[in-house]
Amino acid sequence: MATSPNLSRREDLALREAASGRTRTQLLANDLQLSPTEQALYERLLSRLARGEPLSYLLGFKEFYGRRFWVNSDCLIPRPETETLVDLGLQWALELKGFSDPLGCEDGKEGDAPIRLLDLGTGSGCLAISLGLELQARGFSTQCFGTDLSEGALRLARNNAAWLGADVQFLQGSWMNALSEVDKSEGFDLIVSNPPYVGSEDWEFASGSLSWEPRTALVGHEPSKDGMNDLREIARQTIKRLRPNGLLAVEHGYRQQEFVVDCFQQAGFFRITPMNDLAGHPRYVLGRL
């Protein structure tokens, strides 16, 4: 069966699965043959892909931390590098609270107060849901919140939580302002965010999937040349709401680390740790009181 020349085998199989509703095993067993109707749909998907539409929007999902998240043009497509924020959150929990006991055989986490987790600008919900589920799988009890300004994104996040069996409260509003006074005053142990951080000029010249993704998820509501507005605001808002030993972990652009460290300092964080991604690029900053 001929495949399109500009397509990787993985992409081709994914589009054929989407066009036929069959699994890749079934498709491979049948030499990737499609019926005429399926072939027509496959070709329509191919032409949308050729126009630059991201594969994840065509398929309607993207894998993140081993789970399938439903996505559409209301949310940023989860990126593999954002998975590191999940790892960093888990590391923090295990270091702080000691080893977990998933089988519940020892004095586990049962009696411990739940970890209050907050994901700011949650989009598809991938960070809040993955962290909530992974912490629970390690024996921690959690109370999870995700906030976003976008109603469409929150709809997706709620669907993803329901489909993945995660208990997360998703609330609409700007950063911490989405939370009730009670929730704010209780504070949070772990706050994560992959906020808009693309500078306005970088976005103007963006190619690839960026031009299909929600502009506000990339540059924010008040775009700035350096893309730092939201990171600064998040540092400023969260410092007041972090519990003792709590952690704020953010993702940022690869040229922004010194500015992020600086705004964490300005906000009043003491223990500030810049981190690299798996490719060695400076992409995250951790802040503690």
Which positions touch ligand GLN (CB under 6 A)?
Answer: 76, 79, 194-198, 218
Q: How many CB atoms lie within 10 A of CB 224?
A: 16
Q: Could you tell me the maximum CA-CA distance found in the chain, to the nearest angstrom?
A: 63
Comparing CB distances to ligand GLN, the nearer of 44 and 281 is 281
Q: How many CB atoms lie within 10 A of CB 134?
A: 19
What's the closest the beta carbon of residue 68 comes to ligand GLN, in angstroms?
20
Burial of 272 (0-12, 13-18, 19+ CB in 10 A): middle
Comparing CB distances to ligand GLN, the nearer of 34 and 154 is 154
Comparing CB distances to ligand GLN, the nearer of 79 and 184 is 79
Comparing CB distances to ligand GLN, the nearer of 79 and 158 is 79
As a whole number of angstroms, the distance between CA 221 and CA 200 comes to 11
**Residues 130, 131, 134, 136: is their CA dihedral positive or negative?**
negative
What's the closest the beta carbon of residue 166 comes to ligand GLN, in angstroms?
21
Q: Within a 13 Å sphere around the CA of 138, how many CA atoms are in the beta-carbon half?
A: 20
Residue type present at position 190: L
Asked if 284 and 251 count as a contact pair (C-beta separation under 8 A), the reply is yes
The SS3 assignment for 173 reads coil
What's the closest the beta carbon of residue 105 comes to ligand GLN, in angstroms?
40
What's the closest the beta carbon of residue 200 comes to ligand GLN, in angstroms?
12
What's the closest the beta carbon of residue 217 comes to ligand GLN, in angstroms?
7
* Residues shown for the chain: 289
Comparing CB distances to ligand GLN, the nearer of 76 and 235 is 76
Comparing CB distances to ligand GLN, the nearer of 123 and 246 is 123
What's the closest the beta carbon of residue 24 comes to ligand GLN, in angstroms?
27
As a whole number of angstroms, the distance between CA 271 and CA 96 comes to 15
